[in-house]
Amino acid sequence: MLLRSVACIAQLLVPLFSFNKLVEENRPEDILSRSEFARLHAQVSLAAAKALSFEERASDIVDDLEPPIVGVTKPVVEITDAARTAIRQLVIESREQLYQATYTQIMKRWYFEEKIRRPYFHVKPLEEVQLTNWADYLSFEEAEAAAIESSVREELKAEQPDLSDSELTAKVLSSDSVILARRRVKVLYERCLVACALYEHIWIRYARYTEVSVYPKPLIHVVFSSVYVCSGVDVWMTSQ
């Protein structure tokens, strides 16, 4: 078990080492997006950063998807080797922080992931141990999301005590950390329902979770009812 854990950790570290090597062996302007390079260059040389004439991007998402600065004309400001070294260090540090945060989340879930033996659908029944693991995994993820939501709510209460309950709830649900936490729960349910598709209690659990975590959409029910009313069919009879 110990060797398996060590092998797992070593495997997870390989991408980070490869990335660091990539950064160290290439010029930052060749591997970074325009805006990120300009921002980092501003940190190491504020005076030189004012003269950079890179184009503004409409959003961070578009900028992240754009290709690196390969084959473009030379910037109007000469970039020294010292500046490149400093930028490399900033890039590595920022990515290491992101890596550590991701690694922490992975290790929190590794106990459950390691126990999953059949992540795909099969007509044969799952072992009781597998069903228990999925249930425990879902409970863990739901608890994580609830803790994050509670933490964000308390922070907003302290920062903006005049908010009404509805306004506070809206701000909590629009928080990036809460959205990400709920997405993790949703993705895990989707994975679980593939392997546990034959088990009604899993579907019922998912339905109950969506009752409290998904925005209500009354228009759907209104349209559904109007269609059946117009067609002369009893909605309640058809739902039995």
pLDDT tens-place string over residues 172-227? 999 999 999 999 999 999 999 999 999 999 999 999 998 877 655 666 666 666 76
Q: What's the half-sphere exposure (Cβ side, CA atoms, 13 Å) at 62? A: 5
pLDDT of 158 reads: 92
pLDDT of 196 reads: 97
Q: Given pLDDT bands bounded at 50, 70 and 90, which one contains residue 151?
A: very high
pLDDT of 218 reads: 64
**Is the pLDDT confidence value at 68 over 70?**
no
Report the range of poorest mean pLDDT among 2-11, 64-73, 120-129, 141-150.
2-11
Q: Any idea which residue has 């940190």 for tokens?
A: 43
- Of residues 19 and 143, more confidence is placed in 143
Q: How far apart are CA 208 and CA 202, in angstroms?
A: 10
Phi, psi of 93, deg, nearest 5: -65, -45
3-state secondary structure of 157: helix
Q: How far apart are CA 182 and CA 222, in angstroms?
A: 27
Long-range Cβ contacts of 124-131 (<8 Å, 24+ apart): 125/198, 126/195, 126/196, 126/199, 130/195, 131/196, 131/199
pLDDT of 74 reads: 46
Q: What is the pTM of this model?
A: 0.67
- Of residues 125 and 228, more confidence is placed in 125
**Residues above pLDDT 70, as percent of the chain:** 70
Render pLDDT for 14-49 as a digit per residue (tens, 0 to 9).
Answer: 677 788 888 888 999 888 888 888 888 888 876 444
Q: What value does the mean pLDDT of the chain take?
A: 80
Residue 101, both tokens? 């945060």
* DSSP secondary structure, 42-71, as one string: HHH-HHHHTT--PPPPS-HHHHHHSPP--S
Q: Given pLDDT bands bounded at 50, 70 and 90, which one contains residue 56?
A: very low
Q: In 3D, which of 144, 151, 208 has the Cα closest to residue 181?
A: 144
Domain residue ranges in the chain: 7-52+84-114, 120-225
Question: Which of 35-39, 84-88, 128-132, 228-232 is modeled with the greatest confidence?
Answer: 128-132
Mean pLDDT of 73-78: 54
Q: To 10 degrees, what angle do helices 2-25 and 81-113 make?
A: 160
Q: How far apart are CA 119 and CA 134, in angstroms?
A: 10
pLDDT of 136 reads: 98
Q: Given pLDDT bands bounded at 50, 70 and 90, which one contains residue 63?
A: low
Q: How far apart are CA 155 and CA 149, in angstroms?
A: 10
**Is the pLDDT confidence value at 67 over 60?**
no
